[in-house]
């Protein structure tokens, strides 16, 4: 089993809720680095890394400037130390459909992203797709996980049948919706 995770609006909070990823795209470097992690991320991702035996990759679409800011954000927040994800397990691409190419190369079996169009491009490539965060519609061919507590419930209890050090028994995680 191998897990892939998007960055913007999944690992990192969207910042200004009125516009997606405003701190990273339009703000200063300091604004980007001060953007908080998505609530619950640092509590759940280490348990996922453990459950997936370290086979976790970050796959993100962004240009060179945002790639640099993302790497700086990882450093500022001690992301790799706190999650257990290997520093070398980060892939960037310039177009969203290219995420599916990375997933095929990495043999990703589970992927978490906040964009339905990205996940739709992965149908047939990645068997287990998770649409993260607030969404307008009901996804087909993927599971909606509104936040990190729902990810914990779905991936650490329901799907993988495991109780992790995160402490969730089946049905305990708050906010879990299918």
pLDDT at 37: 96
Q: What percent of the chain has pLDDT over 90?
A: 71
Domain ranges in the chain are 3-9+38-64+82-158
50 exposure class (CB count in 10 Å sphere: 0-12, 13-18, 19+): middle
**With the C-alpha atoms ordered 89, 92, 93, 98, is the resulting torsion angle positive or negative?**
positive
Q: 22-26, 127-131, 144-148, 154-158: which has the minimum mean pLDDT?
A: 22-26
pLDDT at 178: 33
- pTM of the full structure: 0.86
The pair phi, psi for residue 139, each rounded to 5°, is: -75, 150
> How much is the average pLDDT of 154-170?
59
How far CA 99 is from CA of 24, 25, 34, 64, 68, in Å, comes to 20, 19, 26, 16, 18
CATH code: domain 3-9+38-64+82-158 is 3.40.50.1000
153 exposure class (CB count in 10 Å sphere: 0-12, 13-18, 19+): buried
Partners of 56 in the β-ladder: 3
76-124: pLDDT as tens digits: 999 999 999 999 999 999 998 899 999 999 999 999 999 999 999 999 9
């Amino acid at each position: 089993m191998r897990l892939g995770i998007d960055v913007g609006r999944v690992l990192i909070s969207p910042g200004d809720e009125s516009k997606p990823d405003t701190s990273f795209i339009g703000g200063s470097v300091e604004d980007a680095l001060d953007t908080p992690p998505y609530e619950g991320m640092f509590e759940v991702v280490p348990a996922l890394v453990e459950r997936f035996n370290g086979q976790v990759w970050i796959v993100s679409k962004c240009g060179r400037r945002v790639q640099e800011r993302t790497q700086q954000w990882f450093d500022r927040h001690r992301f790799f130390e706190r999650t257990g994800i290997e520093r070398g397990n980060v892939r960037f691409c310039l177009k969203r459909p290219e995420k599916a190419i990375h997933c095929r190369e990495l043999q990703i079996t589970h992927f978490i992203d906040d964009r339905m169009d990205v996940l739709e491009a992965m149908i047939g490539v990645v068997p287990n797709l998770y649409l993260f965060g607030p969404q307008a519609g009901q996804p087909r061919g993927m599971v909606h996980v509104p936040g990190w507590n729902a990810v914990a419930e779905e991936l650490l209890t329901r799907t993988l049948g495991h109780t992790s050090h995160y402490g969730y028994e089946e049905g305990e995680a708050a906010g879990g919706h299918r």
